[in-house]
Amino acid sequence: MIAIDTGVWVEYINTSGALHTQAKAVVESVNRGETDAVLTPLTLTEIYYVAERVYQEVYKPPQSETLAKKFYDFVYHHPHVEIKPLDYELCLKAAMIKSRYNIAFSDCFLLALSEKDNVQVLFKNVESEMKQNIKELSKRFKLKFLENYS
């Protein structure tokens, strides 16, 4: 099982993305049932939002919105993707991570989930707000980045 961040999912649909091939390999592994993915409702929400922005580069609304919803539904209903609820423990862990590292809330929740379930977390790349704490984050969490597989 692996916690997969928004950037990986969106890079999968962004066929011109620099890391599309790597993201496609990850999502296809999930599609085949070789890997189970886990994420939070925050990541799922971001998937729609960012996918809609990517689709807007090619399509105008409402088509970009329709495609983003189809992708949202694909992830939400996927048999090898589990959306974990935001329970007390997960929210508290995310808040503590936010307080300690000051990174994006959605990343805090995914990191909290990965720690709670003892699974790797896969990001597209090292995000700017993570850079100053990357060594400490890498010691605490099982981090992987698509950019390392290019």
pLDDT given at position 128: 87
pLDDT given at position 56: 95
Phi-psi region at 102: left, alpha or beta (left = phi > 0; alpha = psi -120 to 50): left
Is residue 73 predicted with pLDDT exceeding 70? yes
38-42, 46-50, 126-130: which range is least confident on average?
126-130
**141: containing domain:** 2-149
Counted domains in the chain? 1
For residues 46 and 20, what is the distance between their CA atoms, to the nearest angstrom?
18
For 139, the enclosing helix (H) or strand (E) is helix 134-140
pLDDT bracket for residue 75 (50, 70, 90): very high
pLDDT bracket for residue 141 (50, 70, 90): very high
What CATH number is attached to the domain comprising 30? 3.40.50.1010
- Percentage of the chain modeled with pLDDT above 90: 95
The reported pTM is 0.94
pLDDT given at position 133: 94
pLDDT bracket for residue 38 (50, 70, 90): very high
Q: What is the mean pLDDT of the chain?
A: 96
pLDDT given at position 17: 94
For residues 77 and 21, what is the distance between their CA atoms, to the nearest angstrom?
23
Is residue 149 predicted with pLDDT exceeding 90? no
pLDDT given at position 127: 86
pLDDT given at position 34: 97
Q: Is 107:134 a contact under the CB 8 Å cutoff?
A: no
Amino acid at the residue 122: L
pLDDT given at position 150: 58
